[in-house]
Amino acid sequence: MGDRNNGNEPAHRRVSLALREQIAAGHFHGGRQLPTELSLAEEFAVSRQTVRRAFHDLVADGLVYRIPGRGTFVSEDASMRLRRLGHIEALTNLPSDTTTEIVAPLRRRIDIEAASRLRLDSDFVSTITYVRRHAGGVFVTTTVHLPDAHARHLSGGTEMQSGVIGSQTIIGLLEPHLASPVADLVQSITVAPAAEDIAHYLGCPTGHPLLRADRLYLDSDGQVVELAVNYYLPENYTYRITMGRSRNQKRATTDVDRNPARRRNPPDRLVP
C-alpha cells in the first residue's frame, strides 16, 4: 500500500505536490538538481521508493528529467508549465467543498462497449455510479467502468455501497493500489440527452441536454486503468479551456465552474 500521511493521502502524491510548489515558487530553477532520494526520504519521513514514485510523476509531467548516475534535474520551462498547466491530481482529488454519493454500487456485468474502450479481452467490466454535490446541489453524475483486476481492490468495502457519502473519486481511491501511477488522461466532450436514470440522479427532465465528458485514465505503462463517463448539468457547470504551447508540444488547461447561480468555486484543472 505504501506510505501514507495522516490525511490518508498517498505519500508519493504529498511529496510530488510539495516539490511542485517549490518549483513553482522558484526554489529550484531550470537545470538545477533536486535533492537526492535519500535526503527527500528523510525530509518527508517516507521510503526511497515513495520518493522515486514522486519523481516518476514529475517526469511524466515534463517538470523534471533524470540522468542515470547523476540525479534528477528541473526542466528549463518547469515553472512556466506549472503556472500555465494543471495536473491530473486535480481530478483524482475533489475540492474540499465537494462530496460524492454512491447511487449504484459496484457490480460486475457485461458491457461490450466499455470493455472495448478498456482494451479488455473479456466483455465483463465492474461498474459503479455516483453523483457529486456542491453546496448541497447535484451537478454531475459519473459512471466508472473498471477492469476486474482493479475492481477487486475496491470490492467488499463499505465505501462502495449505495448511499455512502465520500470525498474522493474512484480513481483517487484506486490509485494507491496500482503498480504504476496514473500518468495520462484522454478526454472527449460532447452533448447528450439525459437518459431516464441519469435524469433521475440529476433531477432534470428525461431528454434534457447534458454535457458529457468521457475520461480514460492510463498508467505510466500505457495500460488503461479506468473509464469514467460524466454527465454535467450545463446550467450548473461551465467548461473553459486555455491552450498553451510548450517547447515540443501543445498542452491545455481547463477550468471548471460548478455554478448553479454562477457560484465561485475552486476550478478543477486538467492536463489531457
Q: What's the pLDDT tens digit per position in 116-173?
A: 999 999 999 999 999 998 878 899 999 999 999 999 988 877 778 888 888 888 888 8
**Percent of the chain beyond pLDDT 70?**
76
Is residue 265 scored above 50 in pLDDT?
no
Model pLDDT, residue 263: 41
* Model pLDDT for residues 49-70, shown as the tens digit of each residue: 999 999 988 888 778 888 888 8
Model pLDDT, residue 251: 46
Beta-carbon contacts of 116 under 8 Å, excluding residues fewer than 6 positions away, are none
**pTM of the prediction?**
0.61
